Amino acid sequence: MSIEVAQFICLSDNFGLLVHDRATGATASVDSPDGETIAAEAERRGWPLTHLLLTHHHLDHIEGTEFLKKRFPQMKVVGAANDAHRLPPLDEAVSDGDEVSLGAARAKVIATPGHTLGHIVYYFPDDEAVFVGDTLFSLGCGRVFEGTTDEMRLSLEKVANLPRETRVYCGHEYTQANGRFAITVDPENTVLRDRIARVDALRAAGRFTLPTTIALENATNPFLRVEDPLVKKAMGMDDANPFAVFAAMRERKNSFAG
């Protein structure tokens, strides 16, 4: 693998993510929740930023961009072409299927509308890593603020169909809270129960629960398991199609207070 990933907390529960190409020294921040925190971590590691890879336009993912651009003038800002009107000024506007170069590393752009219409994720196939922003969360998924739940489910399928060993880096540390909901709609899943116990132990020790993997999410994330008969049964929707199950699950999660 040619990339090294540094993960740290910004704001309250956003992840700061630095992607460093060992071969060339090129370094990207995935989103910019807090410019000062990101710059401090990059400088501590001796990784001056060359790229900023934006996943979507929400403020907690872009508000540090101006600070970072001033601190690292050579930094190239990359984001979705069809969302350029509500992103910080882009140096490189990309669309679904495009490739972004980070030194010797290569990322494929995958459009994942749902959380926002212009959301994109960055998949590094040679490094078995994907940076999913707020589309997929560990044991959950993003709220559907724009578009439809059908679009969101199709976007999640794109990510879920990546190779099973792919490491998944999300935009927030939400796993423990997501697990409390997940077990209510997949109560017979022993792999999920075991995972929740591990997550609780990690959080009690002050450790992160990410990255996860595609294989682990497909086995335990209820939003990726809406075709499973046991999930349908728990939802009281035995005969419903997966899109209807997903929509009902997302609505139930929106009001979940556990």
Active-site residue set: 56, 58, 60-61, 115, 134, 172
Q: For the chain, report the end-to-end CA distance as a whole number of angstroms.
A: 39
Ramachandran class of 139: left when φ > 0, alpha when ψ lies in -120 to 50, beta otherwise:
left
Amino acid in the structure at residue 51: H
With residue 175 as reference, give the H or E element that holds it.
helix 175-185
Query: Distances in Å between the alpha carbon of 60 and those of 79, 140, 142?
Result: 15, 19, 14
| 8 Å CB contact between 131 and 93 | no
Work out whether the CA dihedral 208, 250, 109, 31 comes out positive or negative. Answer: negative
Nearest to 224 by CA among 123, 116, 106, 141: 141
| 8 Å CB contact between 112 and 132 | yes
Q: Please give the sequence-ordered ranges of beta strands (E in DSSP) within the chain, or none if there are none.
A: 3-10, 14-21, 27-30, 51-53, 76-80, 92-94, 99-102, 105-111, 120-124, 129-131, 136-137, 140-141, 167-169, 212-213
